[in-house]
Structure 1
């Protein structure tokens, strides 16, 4: 489907639009025209629907200067090359890891956990792959990233004859689907949601306001998977909750810790203010608030085909406090988190030859 937008738009906004459309629809061309530009996507949308998507996204694309917190050239002898990768794809963005890749993940995990454990002595949690759908609704994930949720199905509760299901043959997809309904559980897209969902119990049990959590993460990007953009990956996060002053201290500490960590790893990188590619409700307010307040920073590593974002530090203000009812009589006024995609970081370390 093609749509012609008749207003002049700066080049940076057009690049962001193209990336966002590729992210959600698997492909897009954005061609400058006079006036405006023309957009084409390989999706079953009407011209009006595509126009609404484009206009909605551009409302969030005012030019806001980025802020660079750190820039490091890495080790002088570090050269980027295509890394040895013995993973075997089992589906779009999902891999069986070979021995070499498994060792790389173990080494990357040890480097990250070792550095951050020295700085933050916090309870360490292990996340579940499943999470309640209601948690994602509370967190606002469906409003911001409706395309990325991986639903889970189960046999209908009113269906008792399992023989019919067992006798289905390959290709009988419609018949198979008729026996199943969506579950109340989904595959978890963000590890920190587990912490917010159980925050009161965790804080009382461990007498702590910050937690480390590692676990599997799932995001449905069926048209957009690569060796580094995965449908299933492992994330390590530090999550902080407390008063506004406490969380401001957590946030500064996390940013400093990430600056030291990536300098110590020897990877060339920069840490820069960033925003999410929102198509959800009111992208203007969300994007501008992130960029102007400096509430989100990404660690970006130069690779052969552009920068690779491997980590982020995020300040959420009272957003999750309100969503999850975390205030506890004023003890929790804000939250923050800092996450590292271990698979992406392992890929970058292997590409630069920085793993043992």
Structure 2
């Protein structure tokens, strides 16, 4: 493990216990990240939260993905696979910017002419800012795997009486640079998305809470299910978060990765009520605004949980875990 060296800011005298706790958290995160990098599992890019993955790491991700597919084989889900970018107009309609403007990622491109291009090259040569002529494109980075599927389904008209279930899997982006390897800026989510009546969504979520727990138990990982809320932005965000908790709209499956005291959310179980149905105007078979919900599997986080709890050498993982992931060897 490489030696951790505090930054200039961290080396200053600490005035509060909170500041000390923050530094200690960063040290712990840096240590685990360094272990993963030293083992060749993550490949640093020079940007916190942005990593390449090794073959071993990807083999674990693929094995977890197969397990999720097996658990959802009876769902009759329609498979949709989208790139890690979505239509900017749909993104704006989703109201994501109302709640999480600090996490959003936009895609810009050069929109100048010859003169602007020469200016850009001069800025690069002089080490100056070259972004003046970069303009927003019609796409943004996908913040959650389920977002692109709602407008697609809405265009088909009313849902069938049994509702609809969609299987989505995508890289997602959230702008929250961190030394914690479990808090990546680009990561993959596998989701089953349910659309239908309130009863259908509630039953779906209850079923997947049990299935999610069973899957994690198969992997030999300690865990707990906790009521949660999303990280809504701004002063009004606390009110929205409190409402989300009061209505019990979000639960998370937490697994200790770096510490027992601060376990990490690796799976989430969400009930959106009629939020997306109202935005994109899609309805149940009887004409009511459709409700939606989803179960999300954090692929990198679940993989990191395996390395954090069973060690960095997959050959030394418990035989039962290896068999669950790859079958009898």
- TM bucket (normalised to shorter chain) is 0.7 to 0.9
- Call closer, same or farther: CA 1:160–1:235 in 2, change over 3 Å: same
Deviation digits for residues 307-347 of structure 1, max 9, x if unmatched? 11111000011111112222366254211011111001011
For residue 92 of structure 1, give the secondary structure of its aligned residue in structure 2.
Answer: coil
Deviation digits for residues 53-91 of structure 1, max 9, x if unmatched? xxxxxxxxxxxxxxxxxxxxxxxxxxxxx6645221113
* Equivalent-residue separation in structure 1 for 2:126 and 2:113 (angstroms): 21
* Equivalent-residue separation in structure 1 for 2:202 and 2:107 (angstroms): 37
Matched ranges for 1:1-356 at <5 A: 84-90=39-45, 91-117=47-73, 119-156=74-111, 159=113, 164=118, 167-168=121-122, 169-174=124-129, 176-201=130-155, 209-222=164-177, 224-280=178-234, 282-305=236-259, 306-327=262-283, 330=287, 332-353=289-310, 354=317, 356=322
For residue 193 of structure 1, give the secondary structure of its aligned residue in structure 2.
Answer: coil
* Equivalent-residue separation in structure 2 for 1:211 and 1:246 (angstroms): 14
For residue 90 of structure 2, give the secondary structure of its aligned residue in structure 1.
Answer: helix
How much has 1:251 moved relative to structure 2?
A: 2.0
* Equivalent-residue separation in structure 1 for 2:209 and 2:15 (angstroms): 35
- Contact 1:210–1:238, Cα closer than 8 Å, also in 2: yes
- Contact 1:127–1:194, Cα closer than 8 Å, also in 2: yes
* Equivalent-residue separation in structure 2 for 1:202 and 1:344 (angstroms): 34
How much has 1:124 moved relative to structure 2?
A: 1.7
Q: How many residues align?
A: 278
How much has 1:181 moved relative to structure 2?
A: 0.8
Determine the structure 2 residue equivalent to 1:22: none
- Contact 2:278–2:289, Cα closer than 8 Å, also in 1: no
TM-score normalised by length of structure 1: 0.69
* Equivalent-residue separation in structure 1 for 2:198 and 2:87 (angstroms): 28
For residue 198 of structure 1, give the secondary structure of its aligned residue in structure 2.
Answer: helix
* Equivalent-residue separation in structure 2 for 1:290 and 1:320 (angstroms): 15
How much has 1:253 moved relative to structure 2?
A: 2.0
Determine the structure 2 residue equivalent to 1:15: none
* Equivalent-residue separation in structure 2 for 1:331 and 1:313 (angstroms): 23
For residue 93 of structure 1, give the secondary structure of its aligned residue in structure 2.
Answer: coil
How much has 1:133 moved relative to structure 2?
A: 2.3
Larger % of strand: which? 1
- Call closer, same or farther: CA 1:203–1:114 in 2, change over 3 Å: farther
* Equivalent-residue separation in structure 1 for 2:158 and 2:15 (angstroms): 52
Give the unaligned 5+ runs of structure 1: 1-28, 42-81
